[in-house]
A and B are shown apart, each in its own frame.
Chain A
Amino acid sequence: MDLLDVARGPVLLLAVTVFVLGVGWRLAGILRRPRMPDLSPAREGAPPPWQGALRSILCGLWPRRTFGSNSFISSLNGYVFHIGLALVFFGYAPHIAFVQRHTGLRWPALPDAVMYLAAGVTILCMLMALVMRLTNPVLKLISSADDWVSWALTFLPVITGMAVITESSAITLARNHAIFRDPLALHLLAFELLLIWFPFGKLMHAILFPFSRGATGVRFSHRGVQQ
């Protein structure tokens, strides 16, 4: 059993277990907090709460109003990063094959060229985010260890993933076995580290964002505020 076998076997199981239990624990812990119902009458014509929440969640996905040039650049960088990361994670053929091997689920892959471009842009965006966090006085003030750990653990799978690409995904998948086992193991271990960290830091926002936006959406739509 070499490093790749370990990464594909017990460590993967451990990482997925921590991820699932951790996310479940954190989410349940939050949602079990006391509820403070709003007993005030809703604005005439206000949509039902679920519509207010849904509208807020969906509107939040769309490029939103920004205030000032710094926030525009920061928002744009954030958008490009998230789209790039999603493309790489969900669109790269070997990633889809990995998911299919473990879950049976599959979907069409995007061309390799698109993936290389997306990965490159994602890395640039992450570097830019790092520079902004290191230099912007506001970001310096509000940053915590969570920000640095989350950045590093997101960056590692991306950069190690780029490092293991030596051929087209079609050739890799046709061979059906890894040639460079240790680099691939490092890539997988980096991803597993990300999964283990996920429930404990701010990466959890990927799960929490609809809840957080939805709660404000309910509050504002109840009052007739046009967000």
Chain B
Amino acid sequence: MNSATVDKQSTMSDDERLQAAMKSFVSEFGVTAALHLESCVHCGLCASACHFHVTTGDPKYTPIHKLEPFRRAYWREASPLAPLVRKFGLVKGPEIADLEQWQELIYDACTMCGRCTIACPMGIDIAELIKEARHGMFKAGLVPDRLALMDRTARQWGSTATPGEDLPDILADAAREHGVAIPCDLAQADILVTAAPAELGEHTKALADAAKILNRIGARWTMHHDGFDASNIGYNNGDLELQEKLTRALVDTAVKIGAKTVLLPECGHAYGAARWEAAKWYGKALPVRIIHMTEFLDELITSGQIRVKKIGATATFHDPCQIVRRGGLEAAARRVLAALGFELIELQDHGVAGYCCGGGGGVVSNPRAAPLRQKVFELKQQQIDATGAKHFVTSCGQCRITFEQGANKAHWAKPTESLLELVADNLAA
């Protein structure tokens, strides 16, 4: 990659960028990161798990290689052998040119899906390390421009989709369009419902579907302009300050209105950011339960609070990485599919071994990565077609958008259906 394709933010000098990245990298080297960076035996097995390597054959997409500047920073600055490494020059320190060159590998060519993690014989959680490396890249102002733009928007609005003050109008429009009540800004509620950005624009049906189900069970719920966008762009970009701000907006709003539950939309990275990382900003267990839409649906169906009509057709399911491989909801999604009466025909690679959609980790929002995404789409399309299933279902809005973009380009007619929408459309009396 030549330097012309490198995006840069801020007016920092190259040296300042490098220092900012290195300072951040070093702050990430806790015991788990250290264990994982020390344990690699360079076996290359992670390559055959990565959708970007599999679909291009390019060795530069080997997951552990994507961490090279981060790895070098570790060996020079934090490893127990660092004094020897520096004295004898055993590992070259990262330079600004390295960081610029690796921008593509860290942002365009990694969805942080973690398939490489399960392929690694040493159990190295490469996806987590990539996320930590992104923190340094953000500090250095070396983020793809589109993601940086979204970051600035979210810092100002609290959402990449809309300012909070516009939320009541958006919800009112959606309520009118879909004929369902969507409460907003209630002073007291039991459940704070959140959204993904697309649901506030072209996919408002998802909001209406959630409302339909929540109203059916008689829940005291609301959306709230102080905290409504759960898809944490700070988490994807490596902007820790923004990640904290967006996380706190959700949790603090829930606490303010007395909600005991924050319901996350069908969004994978929202789950990663809120369910597993929110507590770290508070330094203690959260006073609210954070739950993904998939497990919410599963609980409602399992407990008998809602019943659904049997669709009675074949279906295949795309496992969103952050919800299944890194979120543990593999069985929950399948129980909902079973309740809908689907005969599930699994993809060749499914469950924790399923291939990513190719758009996670912000890749779907990064136009520079479109050709790579499309190659992954072709792989997924082939696996989906091979099942011969009538329905293609997933439970992540970002995956769905990625599939829809790929399908448009490939003129593939199969719609990507949402688990939430299927449940809402088939509620039994």
Contact = CB atoms under 8 A, between A and B. Distances in A.
Interface in A127-183: 136-147
Interface in A189-227: 200, 202, 204-205, 208-209, 211-217, 219-220, 223-227
Nearest to A64: B121
Interface of A: 25-26, 28-36, 38-41, 43, 56, 60, 64-68, 70-71, 74-75, 78, 136-147, 200, 202, 204-205, 208-209, 211-217, 219-220, 223-227
Interface residues of B, number: 64
Contacts of B327: 223, 225
Contact of A25 (B31, B54, B80, B352): B80
A200 B90 CA distance: 11
Contact of A34 (B31, B42, B81): B31
B92 to A, nearest CB: 11
Contacts of B117: 216
Contacts, number: 175
Interface stretch (B56-64, B167-175, B195-203): B56-64
B275 A215 contact: no
B59 A30 contact: no
Contact of B31 (A31, A60, A204): A31
The secondary structure that dominates the A interface is helix
A137 B128 CA distance: 25
A204 B278 CA distance: 35
B35 interface: yes
A142 B41 contact: no
Contact of A208 (B33, B35, B64, B81): B35
Contact of B42 (A35, A202, A214, A216): A202
Contact of A36 (B42, B65, B280): B280
Contacts of B335: none
A197 B84 CA distance: 14
B121 A60 contact: yes
Q: Of B43, B49, B326, which is in contact with the most chain A CB atoms at under 10 Å from its CB?
A: B43
A143 B64 CA distance: 11
A191 B84 CA distance: 23
B328 A224 contact: yes
Interface stretch (B147-155, B281-289, B365-373): B281-289
